[in-house]
Structure 1
Amino acid sequence: MKIYTKTGDGGTTRQMTGRFVPKYDPQIAALGDLDELDSWLGVVAANATTAEKAWLVPVLTRLQRELYALQADISVPRHQTITEDHVHAQEAAIDRIMAAIPPINAFILPGGTPTAAGLQYARTVARRAERSVDALNDTQQAVGAPILHYINRLSDYLFALAREANWRAGQEELRSKAE
């Protein structure tokens, strides 16, 4: 089976509805940004240390599956997998992490361990995906409140995971201003 179809050679792609749209269509842009985030989480998981594989890779795998569900929710009319329960689970995880690690009293520079740096990068890709989903919602397709809430919390969750990765590794976080 060939994986190329040549249907996009003219700058369009087919939506799940069968309609052809430009590849820069807001829905296609949002799906592309979510796909990039999903792929980057796979890179972070693949490069995780042995110690990180036990606690972090299951979290990243769950997030990757949720991102696939989120893409389906955006692609398929009347498909709704992401719910407020997902949002509440993110909030609970963020609260758990932030309560376990030292509080921050200044802006921190993205970085630290390779895993934490990768998670910080994932956070920025999540923010871009959020902007794309918001633009889609505002201009073309109502995506629903749970999706907007989920994608808004996701970057916060990735920030918390990055801080947790540094904390577990004993890596000090660099402040934005030298002390």
Structure 2
Amino acid sequence: MLKINYMIEAKGVIDELNCHLGKAAAMAKIDLPEVVEEVIEIQKNNFLVSYSLNNKTKITSKNISFLENKEKKYKEIVGKFDGFILQGGSLLGAEIHIARAVNRRLFRQVTYCSATGIHVDGVIFDYLNKLSNYLFILSKYINHRLGVEEIKVYGEQ
């Protein structure tokens, strides 16, 4: 596969991720309007990731701090959980889980870019990794706020 194909694939995955986040934002308008603006902010940040893949780094530690602060806030609300849950819960929580899975695919695609010699700024990896963590805790927060119990595979019950 040509190096440039990895870049094209990564940009396509960013588009797919933003589509799922857009759907989630539309769904959140009804039950969780406080989540809408931050999801839109993440969609905008994902465009910065796309620009950054062209060696014009736009994503910064400030974007990562945004995710860290939101993640910390939601963890305080939902509490700590060590273990695994089945993806799903509410429809909105499930959509966020899909976005997280797409984000993990994006991380792998960006790794392929880097492995084939395309320069990828380390901040992109940090951002995508933190985005995955954030989306996981966001899904837990959404399910918590909507009163939907998650199915725990194992861990603290």
Are residues 1:29 and 2:32 paired? no
Which segment is superposed worse, 32-41 or 104-113?
A: 104-113
Counterpart of 2:37, as a letter, is: P
Which residue is equivalent to 1:74?
A: 53
Q: 1:39 aligns with which of 19, 24, 29?
A: 19
Whole-angstrom CA distance in 2 between matches of 1:42 and 1:140? 32
Whole-angstrom CA distance in 1 between matches of 2:20 and 2:117? 27
5 Å-filtered alignment, 1:36-115, equals 36-52=16-32, 54-75=33-54, 77=55, 79-115=56-92
TM-score of the aligned structures, taking structure 1 as reference length:
0.80
TM-score of the aligned structures, taking structure 2 as reference length:
0.90
Larger helix fraction of residues: 2
Structure 1 spans left out of the alignment, 5+ residues: 1-20
Counterpart of 1:168, as a letter, is: R
Counterpart of 2:12, as a letter, is: G
Structure 2 spans left out of the alignment, 5+ residues: none
Which residue is equivalent to 1:5?
A: none
What's the CA shift for 1:28?
0.6
Corresponding residue pairs, total:
155
Q: For the aligned residues, what is the CA RMSD?
A: 2.0
Q: RCO (CA 8 Å, sep 6+): is it higher in 1 or 2?
A: 2
Identity %: 30
Q: 1:152 aligns with which of 129, 132, 155?
A: 129
